[in-house]
Structure 1
Amino acid sequence: MPRIVKDWLAEHVELPEDLTAAQLAEALVKVGLEEEEIHAAAVTGPLVVGRVLAQNPEPQKNGKTINWCLVDVGPEHNVTQIKGVDDADVPDGGARGIICGAHNFGVGDLVVVSLPGAVLPGGFAIAARKTYGHVSDGMICSKKELGLGEDHAGIIVLPRDLGFDAAELAPGQDAIALLGLGDEILEINVTPDRGYAFSYRGVAREYAHSTGARFTDRGLPAVAEPAATPDGFEVRVDDAAPIDGRTGCDRFVTRIVRGIDPSAPSPGWMKRRLEQAGMRAISLAVDVTNYVMLDLGQPLHAYDLGKVAAPIVVRRAAAGEKLTTLDDVERKLDTEDLLITDSPGGAAASRVLGLAGVMGGESTEVSDTTTDVLIEAAHFDPITVARTARRHKLPSEAAKRFERGVDPRLPAVAAQRVVDLLVEHGGGTADPAVSDLDETTAPAPITLKVTEPTRLSGVEYAPGQVHGTLEEIGCTVADGAPAGETATFEVTPPTWRPDLTGPADLVEEVVRIQGYDQIPSILPQAPGGNGLTAEQRMRRSVARALAEAGFTEVLSYPFVGAQDYDALGLPAGDPRRVSVRLANPLADDRPYLRTNLLVTLLETARRNVSRGLPDVAVFEVGLVTRPAADAPAAPALPGGVRPSDAELAALAAATPDQNRRVAGVLAGNREPAGWWGAGRKADWSDALAAARLVAERAGVEVVVTPDAEHLPWHPGRCARLEAVDAAGNRRLIGHAGELHPKVVEAVGLPARSCAFEVSLSGLAAAAPGEPVTAMPVSAFPAAKEDLAFVVDASVPAASVRAAILTGGGDLLEDAQLFDVFTGEQLGEGKKSLAYAVRLRAADRTLSADEVRGAREAIVAAAEKTGAVLRA
């Protein structure tokens, strides 16, 4: 994010002397540039310029040599008595005694001294302290200690290290102001459509919009920049097959500066500003290009002229090409990458110099021996640069600006600024040779209805307001259609606003500059409707019922891999393995969308068990994706236009089915142990009861039958659930029971863990269309009968209960299984099922004959299943 330094911004726009960072942030937020952070002053307290008067090396027992120094820190801060120093040895004007372990300075040097009471970056407080046999009354500072860089090997010598003129420095001078360490720095957040605000030029313009302050556009040259000359450094753009119809480079300016002193330092003010903006000072040529980029918003690059051979060719990469970039990383290039190349060995020996708009290569970088510099200022396609930067994970400062759009008028202006600074501070000479390959096009005019800002915002804007506001942001505005309801303006956006492409963009600018606070806050009136749909009500009811039954609702990511299906034991041909593969998965080992809920819910249950929660009852309501094996590929729809009916139909046909389901997992105890007893382990019946509860809350009748083979469930303890709709048709809606032992072991759950999974979409389809009505409650007494039937061990209890319900007819109110018994007296392979049966009539008390008849009908119906009434 851009960091804004007040005195730098003041070179572009008139600022009040007492403007604070908070006030600057308040002004900018009015025009849409939000405050990210305000960085407080780096140093507080006394930090001054000092002159070294004496330097006495003192070897120590540990092998280290320290310097006991007398430093003149100005009349205001000097002392005339120094402990351990004879008064006769103290200079007439006084001094401070300071211990320093560095050796890169000498007597007479001007240094930076932090005196007792100062607080340096990181909260490091300075105080007088005794060390190495002396009282050190302050500290001589290095760059790292002041937050000016990472160099901690030696202290700062002001004229040598920061480029200050020694004649303008004096002991006691405030070093905080000198080094800009007392400045508050505002960091702002810039939205992707406003790349011009990644420069002081752009931010200053926005401050002027917000406050009406006088703005000077330094992107407009005071005098015309030099025109291209025939002997300019030759540049070609060879992009005959641009990506998506976009030419990668439409402007390329080069300038040359010769005879630069390679040892010339960057001026102190430039280093300070770069470091305050978050960039590291490197060398004069590099610092100048970075400074101009931050100032105007135009990225630039400096080449060692002696290492570049004409012509420079801008082209796409060829397959197999590589480049070692300035960060010393060798990168394999993509054929979509736009490159800067030259041909030192002729056309057949093309050499890659850099990734256009992203980062240069190390072969032509400016070094400490460079005297002649070739300056590049170009305009590259935003999308090409953005793709290259992301492909190579190189979010450089240049790429951040190019991908958001850079003013195509800036290259020549910015190149001239670089030339001027190099000549001024490096002693070089500007070469008259100039090249300027310019194929840019002017922004297309936009037709804007005069009433459009009012229509879209709800605020009444006069035509003069609209006209004036658009001119204020740099647009050229001409009258279009005649006055009246259809009156229009013909608006040509400025070159630095590539984001202004349609009427709505211009309306946004009018609203932004006139003030968002003018838009009234009107709460929209909610339209009348039917509230929640039947399926939504069912979903909420199911979740509430499971929570009341002791389950905890969880959410899991719907991404899975082949290994997750393997853990469930799904065979290779199982349709549940046919999954939608994500084009850009979050994790390479989970590239698919789940086809059932248990595949991710089991991992959630395992994580809870592994963290010391052995008794688990969790459930999840979510979507699963079940594509057809022969589903067609989804078509790529065009942008900017409404797809045709045929395209929408093809898209619908390719969209996989997304079924909403509910699943639950139980492990450990279902009923906890305590003083009341040993508790009870969760078993298959608990999973089945939860599945039945789901169906009950959905108002759907379900038929339960055994399922001998349906992984991940145990083959002998798995129930198949089928919903019965109003027409009596059955449809499979889920399974419940105990998990297969191998699955439990594979997923890391306790033995005999149980689970259920039910399709809520299937239940919704089977639910009755009519609202569920309450059954009338009879005021007459019930007749109770307990019936025990002996059946084969393989006969499900549910089938016997179904027979009881059929036989009981209208008089049967309820039938519940209350006991299952096996024993020698029943015979091998037999079991006894005992049911509590309740009979009741709605309009009378049942007679003994009626109860007897109903009992006989129930027994007869049960016998059809092979059940025998137990005596």
Structure 2
Amino acid sequence: MRVGLSWLREHVQLPAKVSAAEIDLALTNLGIEVEHIVDQRELVTGDLVVGRVLTIEELTEFKKPIRFVTLDIGQSKPQEVICGATNFAEGDLVVVILPGGVLPGGFEVGSRKTYGRVSNGMICSARELGISDDHAGIIVLDPAVDAKLGDDARHVLGMDDIGLAVEITPDRGYQMSVRGLARELAHAYHVPFTDPGLGKHTEATKKPAWPLTIDDPAGCDRYAARLVRGVDPKAPTPDFMKRRLTTAGIRTLGLPIDITNYVMLELGQPMHAFDADRINGALVVRRAKAGEKLVTLDGSTRVLSEEDMVICDDTGPISLAAVMGGQTSEVVDGTTNVLFEAAHWDPTMVGRTARRHKLFSEAAKRWERGVDRNLCLVGIERAVSLLVEYGGGKAGKEVLDLNYPSEPVTITMAADKPSKLIGVDYSVDRISDLLTEIGCDVAAYDDRVEVVPPSWRPDLREPADLVEEVVRLDGFENVPSVLPIAPPGNGLTAAQRRKRGVGRALAEQGYVEVLSYPFVSRSVMQTLGVPEHAVRLANPISEEEPFMRTSLLPGLLGALKRNLGRGQRDVALFEQGLVFLPAPQAALPPTMGVAARPEESLWQQANAAVPRQPWQVAAVLAGEFERSGWWGAGRVAGWADAVQAARDVLAASAVPERDIVVEQLVSKPFHPGRCAGITIGGVSVGMAGELHPEICAALEVPRGTCAMELQLDAVPLPGVTPPPVISNYPPALIDVALVLPQEIPNAAVEAALLEGAGPLLESLRLFDVYQGKGIEEGKRSLAYNLTFRAPDRTLKVEEAVAARDSAVAVAASRFGAVLRGTSAPAGSSKSA
């Protein structure tokens, strides 16, 4: 929205010497984004004068039109200039900048020889002067302009004003008008405001200005019209109106059309002017029929949708309602009878129509933000009076006003709500005064206020909107920069504590957390062997990755590849996040409207279509896990490190070590001999190991890359963590080596030892695996450190040995374990 301050002053009594910086600050404090404020008196320096074209000589020897022009600028000798514009003739009044003047952008004008002639100055266009974007030609002044040749042209052009350009938020359509901005400045300066929207108007008559029916009151709940006959088709647009439209960035197109744009800028009420002689029969406001066509004012043929609103006569659609008129009924050069229309349209309908047809007109921008429905008759009255005054027509006595008003909405707000949300003590009286200031009808009570918003504020719908108005008008600068006191709560949930604990545990082991996009391609899922039954996005960011991930590994391995490609040799990464697992036969979600809350059955269908989204953690590592250096050789990351990462995650999740079972597994994408499945209480929670060499090659990551992935939602949440039991008594340390068939997993052996040892066993650790000389073929030796301790006494040797023998006895009976170095069963009386 662009407007001159002089126009705003007609409705608000601003201080006489207010500066551009002060206006900028005032609007910003009210929450209005100011793009720029320009003091137009400072745009152009030097002599900018009014001149009359005396002669024009066409220089035809050049490829483009070039004119040598002589001008009368009130001096004894004509001024000679070179000009490339062709939209003026001898006798026209133009704007001339003389040598020494400086145009916006620092362009200095001087005397110079060009095209074989000397140019002393320059004839200016509106864009060159910085007052609009129009560069179709130079400015040609109205012959009746009140200025003498050689006079300063700034006053004639309105360049003695302050120009405002503000960006209006989508919910504050009332600010897209002189009426709205003047009201805001009145709030800022606490000065009187004269509301042009409350001007006089003629009420509807029994006989309408034109026969019209509304078939769809939901799309158009008010339509007003009035006819002006006998308009002079050659009547020019008055100079003040041209200047104000030009400042706003709107082209002048003829008096009737310029008046509709002028009223729109002044009041915020978009209007349309029809040539009454080109309308055939009665008018109908309705929804378009599928396939109907309309040639709009821009010359484009529009294929209409059933959601579009149109205005029709006997020939069919003649206007795309609220967006753009049609060519068959537009005002033309010979129009003498003008029918003005001012209506109130559904904002949602207008917004969708504008986007469907890519027609973002000034009218549509205002309609989709909300327009005061009470402006229709006021806008008609204003447009008719302007056309009669400057176009010489006669206003018809008949006035059409079809009105389908809705019941006013009352918003009830607790009196202490603004104070609670903002942290400033607002009294009920202060709240009432501020809301009354913006036009609300307020009934104030001790505990609440009941508010009826004004017709120009459709954005006020709930108590939070009223709170925003209270703090905005009272002043954002009055809100202290103090953090509010957080209400007491229960702290982190068990899931949140686990998430943080897992991240901290992996970070302490040297892993770096990454966040990857949840989008994957079908080929990557096929390569890794992760579930391919995935959710496909209807509108993906990239067609190469249209699916939602079913595993964290694709994103992690992509991050690993990028890091390696950028020179990182040793990389260990982890990520926590959701995966998306649709049901095997997921139903499509039902279609639900927005007019009311869906029925419970529809909610159930919608929820049934939502994919399951478990929380998982994964890690990948490549290169050295323990760095090499002057101190010695390092250690390359292996499958055991991936398994240990899984153990660290489960330990951070407070899963007891004895409940974790790690067993060999063959599963894609892991190496068949270097993969472990991890279970807790018989429930599989994930896998860890070294990736298959073929998969490493396909994904372009190093051979031997390792990974692990756990489904944390399958791991029981930790309860209250008991305090550790610390014994002051010495431990009993016993090692035992068992010879077993090599297919028996270590996890099963550890479980047997734990079961047999009883409560005195404090810890159990595998420290050696041996196959070779002295061990029967097909078997291997597993050696364990067993630590026994009692919390209340020093263990006797006999007690520790008995617990050891009980442990190995279970292993012997369950797996046929034999103590190494003896042929006796592990449960015999011989010591290990």
TM-score when normalising by structure 2:
0.80
Query: Which of 113, 118, 125 lines up with 1:142 in the alignment?
Result: 125
Tell me by how many angstroms 1:773 deviates: 3.2
Residue in 1 aligned with 2:645? 690
Is 1:404 the counterpart of 2:369 in the alignment?
yes
Q: 2:320 aligns with which of 336, 341, 355?
A: 355
- Find the aligned partners of 1:55 and 1:638 in 2 and give their Cα distance: 67
**Structure 2 CA distance for partners of 1:474 and 1:838, relative to 1, 3 Å:** closer
**SS in structure 2 at match of 1:168:** coil
Other-structure match for 2:677: 720
Other structure's SS at 1:146 match: coil
Aligned residues: CA RMSD: 4.9
Change (3 A) 1:852 1:164: farther
Identity of aligned residues (%): 45
The residue correspondences of 1:319-718 to structure 2 (distance < 5 A) are 319-323=290-294, 325-326=296-297, 331-344=302-315, 351-366=316-331, 372-392=337-357, 394-425=359-390, 427=391, 429-430=393-394, 432=396, 434-441=398-405, 443-444=407-408, 446=410, 459=425, 461=427, 472-475=437-440, 493-500=453-460, 513=473, 524-558=484-518, 565-566=525-526, 568-570=528-530, 577=533, 579=535, 594-608=549-563, 616-626=571-581, 628=583, 657-667=612-622, 670=625, 682-700=637-655, 701=657, 702-709=660-667, 711-718=668-675
Q: Distance in 1 between matches of 2:341 and 2:113?
A: 55
Gaps of 5+ in 2: 822-832
Query: Does 2:17 align with 1:18?
Result: yes
User: Quick check: 1:738 aligned with 2:690?
Assistant: yes
Aligned pair partner of 1:232 in 209, 231, 242: 209
One-letter code aligned to 1:698: S
Q: Deviations over 1:217-241 (max 9, x none)?
A: 222334x3374463632221112xx
Report the TM-score when normalising by structure 1. Answer: 0.77
Tell me how far apart the structure 2 counterparts of residues 103 and 820 of structure 1 sit (CA, whole Å).
97
Q: State the Cα deviation string for residues 278-299 of structure 1 (Å, max 9, x = none).
A: 4444554443322211211111
Relative to structure 1, the CA distance from residue 282 to residue 616 in structure 2 (aligned partners, 3 Å threshold; closer, same or farther) is farther
Residue 311 of structure 1 pairs with residue 282 of structure 2: yes
Distance 1:415 1:734, change over 3 A: same
C-alpha change, 1:541 and 1:68, in structure 2 (3 Å) is same
The separation in 2 between residues aligned to 1:749 and 1:522, in whole angstroms, is 51
The one-letter amino acid of 2:650's match is A
Distance 1:487 1:812, change over 3 A: closer
Aligned CA distance change for structure 1 residues 735 and 15 (closer, same or farther; 3 Å): same
Deviation at 1:774, TM superposition (A): 3.2
Equivalent residue number for residue 78 of structure 1: none
Cross-structure match for 1:754? 706
The whole-number CA distance in structure 2 between the counterparts of 1:365 and 1:609 is 66
The equivalent of 1:773 in structure 2 is: 723
Give 2:826's aligned residue: none
Against the structure 1 CA distance between its residues 500 and 150, is the aligned structure 2 distance closer, same or farther, given a 3 Å change threshold?
A: closer
Cα–Cα, structure 1 residues 823 and 133, in superposed 2: closer, same or farther, change >3 Å? Answer: farther
Cα distance, 1:124–1:651 mapped onto 2, change above 3 Å: same
Measured in 2, the distance between the counterparts of 1:678 and 1:116 equals 81
Shift of the alpha carbon at 1:45? 2.1
Paired AA for residue 624 in structure 1: V
Residue pair 1:453, 1:459 contacting (<8 A) in 2 also: no
Q: Deviations over 1:65-98 (max 9, x none)?
A: 85566666677xxxxxxxxxxxxxxxx46x7665
Whichever residue aligns with residue 208 of structure 1, its letter is A
Native 8 Å contact 1:235 1:437 kept in 2? no
Structure 1 residue 37 corresponds to structure 2 residue 35: yes
Pairing 1:801-816 to 2, within 5 Å after superposition: 801-802=750-751, 816=765
Give the superposition deviation at 1:674.
6.9
For residue 614 of structure 2, give the secondary structure of its aligned residue in structure 1: strand
Tell me if 1:171 matches 2:150: yes
* Whole-angstrom CA distance in 2 between matches of 1:668 and 1:369: 84
Q: 1:508 to 1:691 in 2, by over 3 A?
A: closer
Q: Which moved more, 1:550-559 or 1:608-617?
A: 608-617
The 1-side partners of 2:545 and 2:300 are apart by 30
Distance 1:487 1:536 in 2: 39
Q: Residue 634 of structure 1: CA displacement? A: 7.8
Is the alpha carbon distance of 1:151 and 1:784 closer, same or farther for their aligned partners in structure 2, counting shifts above 3 Å? same
Distance 1:688 1:836 in 2: 19
| Post-superposition offset of 1:378 | 0.9
Is the alpha carbon distance of 1:413 and 1:730 closer, same or farther for their aligned partners in structure 2, counting shifts above 3 Å?
A: same
Are residues 66 and 774 of structure 1, via their aligned partners in 2, closer, same or farther at CA, if it must alter by over 3 Å? same
Q: Distance in 2 between matches of 1:853 and 1:445?
A: 81
- Measure the CA separation in 1 of the matches of 2:100 and 2:620: 64
Shift in Å, 1:252: 1.4
Deviations 1:299-356 (A, max 9, x none): 1123444543222221123334454555565555443332222322xxxxxx233432
- 1:232 is paired with a residue whose SS is coil
Cα gap change, 1:745 to 1:289, in 2 (>3 Å): farther
Between stretches 632-641 and 596-605, larger displacement belongs to 632-641
Distance 1:773 1:324, change over 3 A: farther
In 1, Cα distance between the equivalents of 2:327 and 2:770? Answer: 85
Tell me which moved more, 276-285 or 203-212. Answer: 276-285
Give the Cα–Cα distance (whole angstroms) in 2 for the partners of residues 467 and 318 of structure 1.
48
Q: Which residue of 2 aligns with 1:270?
A: 241
For the Cα contact (< 8 Å) 2:231–2:394, is it kept in 1? no
1:79 corresponds to: none
Give the Cα–Cα distance (whole angstroms) in 2 for the partners of residues 730 and 407 of structure 1: 68
Match of residue 266, structure 2, among 279, 290, 295:
295
1:172/1:818 CA distance change after superposition, 3 Å = farther
When structure 1 is superposed on structure 2, of 516-525 and 226-235 the one drifting more is 516-525
Are residues 800 and 281 of structure 1, via their aligned partners in 2, closer, same or farther at CA, if it must alter by over 3 Å?
Answer: farther
Q: What are the ranges of 5 or more consecutive residues in structure 1 without an aligned counterpart?
A: 76-91, 240-245, 345-350, 724-728
Q: Give SS of 1:720's match.
A: strand
Quote the offset at 1:111 in angstroms. Answer: 3.4
Q: CA, structure 1 residues 264+675, in 2 after alignment: closer, same or farther (shift >3 Å)?
A: farther
The residue correspondences of 1:787-802 to structure 2 (distance < 5 A) are 787=737, 791-792=741-742, 794-802=743-751
User: d(CA) in 1 for partners of 2:671 and 2:333?
Assistant: 75
Query: Which range moves more in the overlay, 714-723 or 665-674?
Result: 665-674
Letter in 1 for 2:639: W
5 Å-filtered alignment, 1:212-223, equals: 212-222=190-200
Maintained 8 Å contact 2:44/2:129: no
- Residue by residue over 1:100-137, the C-alpha shift from the partner in whole angstroms, topping out at 9 and shown as x without a partner, is 44455566654334456655445545456665677755
Counterparts of 1:614 and 1:422 in 2: how far apart (Å)? 79
Distance in structure 2 (CA, Å) of the matches to 1:666 and 1:328: 63
Match for 2:129: what amino acid? L
Partner-residue secondary structure (3-state), 1:214: coil
The CA distance in 2 between the partners of 1:368 and 1:609, in whole Å, is 72
Aligned length: 811
Structure 2 distance, partners of 1:107, 1:646, is: 79
Whether the 8 Å CA contact 2:65–2:86 is kept in 1: the answer is no
**Matches of 1:97 and 1:862, distance apart in 2:** 116
Q: How much has 1:527 moved relative to structure 2?
A: 4.2
Deviation at 1:537, TM superposition (A): 2.4
